[in-house]
Amino acid sequence: MSMRFRFAPSPTGHLHIGGARTALFNWLLARKHDGVFLLRIEDTDRARSKAEHEAQVLRDMAWMGLDWDEGPSTGGEYGPYRQSERQGRYDTYIARMLDEGTAYRCTCSKERLTQVREAAQAKGEKPKYDRHCRNLNLGPDCGDHVVRFKAPLDGETVVKDLVKGDVTFRNEELDDLIIQRTDGSPTYNFVVVIDDHEMKVTHVVRGDDHLNNTPKQQLLYEALGLPVPAFGHLPIILGDDGGKMSKRHGSTSVGAYRENGFLPEALFNYLTRVGWACGDMEHFTAEEAIAARLAGEASPGRCGGGPRFSGRCSAFPSSAAGSRSTGALSTSATCSTGASRSRALPGCLHPSTRSTRSARCRCSARTCTSCCHACRTMALAIGYTETAGNSRGEAPRLSPPSPWRS
Ligand code: GLU
């Protein structure tokens, strides 16, 4: 069976560059392995999900050149690919879990749950449901209720992460999570399991902000007797102050980069290299990136391409890298510089670059990186600093933010 990857955006806003990078990594993996890349719209949050956001996400992905094999507009064997259209499937699985005793109805009121939470906090404990209804065997006529997962009370859950290695969670830390709300709508951790299973996803690759969800999902797979897919959690993109990339660091949406005149190739190339590098190679066309990228779970840390890409690279940084994208930007130049050193660059403003020294920026094709507005702005937006050029015509240099220098 072919490898199947997915991108599962929630259409509650624009396509964030972090989400675009998740989509890109999955797309590259799918293309590299001759697999399938599917798009699933996670719109269970009815209040915040909007058709116009979904349209924007699809447009932004298409603009970046990320096409999908299966999805809401494209169709496919395992659709529908919009969660709001899959309620019947979720109901079937909930009924099965209630039947098999791996889930239970809970009628605890909000007030009671607040009291339980406050009591735990007062004792300095982690706020958790006290499992009051777990063994009451409440039936369908119990009145307003949620459905909770009967999580194991002891033991450990080990997530075998393709990026981080084994990550162990103590089951007693996990809650009896709600899988269906009072209004009958299912919750994220549950639907994602059902959909990934039904859509035959073999590899779940996403940001490591989802890592804490993974043991819960893994236990749900096990409770349902379903095979567990492979998981890989990518370090998320951080701003130069180590915080989650947000507006205060610059533009965060793909749409904003497009509107500001960035070329899709520039964004594609840049995001390809955030969290990954391949020797000194700094510019990738989509085809090269596919060839070079992510040799696969068997050999994290190495380029997967042919002889051209023989250097050691930081694909899938090890757990030692923590949640920082340390590997990505450890070389001194920024995005999109080509490999054509010592080549005259007639469009460049910097004589030294023009004659011998620097590398050509493929985005504007005829300049060095510093002269390329798109690359320069992008680099500065994510925290690169620029040292001034000089009167001898040497180009200004862009250097990565200090937390990224290894
Ligand atoms: N819908 C989730 C999000 O937008 C992604 C869920 C997942 O990848 O499992 O963050």
pLDDT value, residue 400 = 57
Choice from 5, 21, 206, 237 to test ligand 1 binding pocket (greatest atom count within 8 A of CB): 206
Residue 227 has which token pair? 């095979």
pLDDT over threshold 90, residue 57: yes
pLDDT digits 0-9 by tens, 357-399: 344 443 333 445 555 544 555 555 555 667 776 666 666 666 6
CA terminus-to-terminus distance, the chain: 40
pLDDT digits 0-9 by tens, 317-368: 222 222 222 222 222 222 223 323 333 333 344 444 433 334 444 333 344 5
pLDDT digits 0-9 by tens, 234-243: 988 887 787 8
Task: List all residues whose CB is within 6 A of at least one atom of ligand 1.
Answer: 8-10, 42, 192, 206, 210
Please give the Cα distance from 248 to 298 (Å, whole number).
38
pLDDT digits 0-9 by tens, 182-222: 999 999 999 999 999 999 999 999 999 999 999 999 999 99
**Minimum CA distance residue for ligand 1 atom 6:** 8
Residue 155 has which token pair? 């033991």
| Active site residues per annotation | 247
**Closest to 72 measured CA to CA, from 63, 64, 83:** 83
**Closest to 18 measured CA to CA, from 206, 223, 284:** 206
Q: Which residue type occupies 60?
A: D
pLDDT value, residue 338 = 32
Check: CB of residue 319 under 8 Å from CB of residue 301: no
Check: CB of residue 175 under 8 Å from CB of residue 129: yes
Distance of CA 280 from the midpoint of ligand 1 (Å): 32
Using 50, 70 and 90 to split pLDDT, how confident is the model at 1?
confident
Q: Which atom of ligand 1 is nearest to the CA of 7?
A: 8
Distance of CA 9 from the midpoint of ligand 1 (Å): 6
Q: Which atom of ligand 1 is nearest to the CA of 42?
A: 1
| Average pLDDT of the chain, as a whole number | 77
Distance of CA 282 from the midpoint of ligand 1 (Å): 29
**Closest to 191 measured CA to CA, from 44, 46, 399:** 44
Please give the Cα distance from 56 to 63 (Å, whole number).
10
Choice from 4, 5, 7, 10 to test ligand 1 binding pocket (greatest atom count within 8 A of CB): 10
Cα diameter, the chain? 83
